[in-house]
Amino acid sequence: MSTVFLSLVLSSCTGDESTEPPDLPVPVTPPTEPVEPVADDFDAAAKYQTLCAPCHGTEGKGDGPAGAALNPEPASFADPAFWAERDDAQVRKAIKEGGASVGKSPIMAPFGNNFESDGQIDQLVSHLKTFRSE
């Protein structure tokens, strides 16, 4: 009887020890900064065609049907001069906060609310550059 009791006590002790996590050679620490969500389902090209092409044109030439009557005309992303005169920060700001925020026409509305992160706007800016002609 006492043997059974003793073996029960022993097995419960060793049982507890075996549930301890093993010592890891490298301490695993969770990231302290929130990681920017990977916009894997974000399609910059599709977003451009929906939001921007009506004015800026399907190929970015500034010749969309809704832009034809505008003054000033929508910017042409195909024009190398457009890119020569602006850096990414200005282009990003114009998209996010509107033309007026970079000293341009307020007809270019702020589109920041259409994006979940600045990273998505960066992807859109990269897409605009694909329209650039040499």
Amino acid at 34: P
- On whether the CB atoms of residues 126 and 44 are closer than 8 A, the answer is yes
- Binding residue count for ligand HEC, defined by CB under 6 A: 24
User: Is the distance from CB of 88 to CB of 125 less than 8 angstroms?
Assistant: yes
Give yes or no for residue 102 binding ligand HEC (CB under 6 A): yes
Residue 61 in contact with ligand HEC, rule: CB under 6 A: no
- By CB under 6 A, residue 44 contacts ligand HEC: no
Q: Cis link prior to 30 (omega < 30° from 0)?
A: no
Only segment of 4-12, 25-33, 38-46, 63-71 that touches ligand HEC (CB under 6 A) = 63-71
Q: Is position 132 an interface residue for ligand HEC (rule: CB under 6 A)?
A: no
Q: Which residues lie near ligand HEC (CB under 6 A)? A: 51-52, 54-56, 66-67, 70, 72, 74-75, 86, 90-91, 94-95, 99, 102, 104-105, 107-108, 111, 124
